[in-house]
Amino acid sequence: NINPVVGVSKNMRANGIPADVMTIDCLKSGKRIILILHDEQPEQLMYQFAYRDKDPDDAFQQIKLADISVDLLYTWIVEYFS
């Protein structure tokens, strides 16, 4: 029912910021989960619950990369996109 679309972007890296971005989008609701892995903090993952049609704000949360699991990502997707 949610049908998430996953994308990986290297735009930040192309603009001189040493980080990669993964987005998980819900086309139906217009919601987006943004995940950023920065080279200078490889043990941390920055994330934000946002919208596809709006620029993200500066209020990213951080979580230890080791604490990210398939189950956690699935929970975020189901809870935020539903």
Question: Rounded to 5, what percent of the chain is helix, strand, coil?
Answer: 25, 40, 35
Amino acid at 54: K
pLDDT above 90 for 1: no
pTM exceeds 0.75, yes or no: yes
pLDDT value of residue 80: 97
19-55, pLDDT tens digit by residue? 999 999 999 999 999 999 999 999 999 999 999 999 9
| Structural domain harbouring 27 | 5-81
Domain count, the chain: 1
